[in-house]
Amino acid sequence: VQLQASGGGLVQAGDSLRLSCAASGRTFSGQTVGWFRQAPGKEREFVASIFRWNAGRTYYADSVKDRFTISRDNAKNTVYLQMNSLRPEDTAVYYCASDSSIILSSIRLSRMYEYWGQGTLVTVSS
């Protein structure tokens, strides 16, 4: 599976962005897809994921809950991350990742995802 993340950019605090993660080589329908981010000097952290089963149940980091929404369009083989009410602390490189066999208890662990996109930079100015 090859993943292509896009949609990053420079925005002001309070603005919105929608990131996209497009897959090629394999359909997303059987994959759990996650978004992670890495700010300068910090470790990569979990942002959100959509599980491959459980009717696509979604999970969020507390820091983005109620502001970010992850969704998938199986027809377009794309997963989105809608980011609203952006804050300067959301500034980071955002990565999408996928895996076909990850279990529910591991969806927040970046090391459990097999496939990764190249990352897209989100910069939020105050």
Quick one: residue 25, left, alpha or beta (phi over 0 = left, psi -120 to 50 = alpha)?
left
Q: What is the model's pLDDT at position 54?
A: 58
Q: What is the model's pLDDT at position 25?
A: 81
Residue 30 has pLDDT above 90, yes or no: no
DSSP 88: G
Q: Tens digit of pLDDT for each residue in 1-27?
A: 899 999 999 999 999 999 999 998 877
- What does the alpha-carbon distance between residue 80 and residue 86 come to, in Å, rounded to a whole number? 16
Q: Tens digit of pLDDT for each residue in 52-102?
A: 865 788 999 999 999 999 999 888 999 999 999 999 999 999 999 999 999
Burial class (CB in 10 A: 0-12, 13-18, 19+), 95: buried
Here the contacts of 22-25 (C-beta below 8 Å, separation 24 or greater) are 22/76, 22/77, 22/78, 23/77, 23/78, 23/79, 23/98, 24/77, 25/1
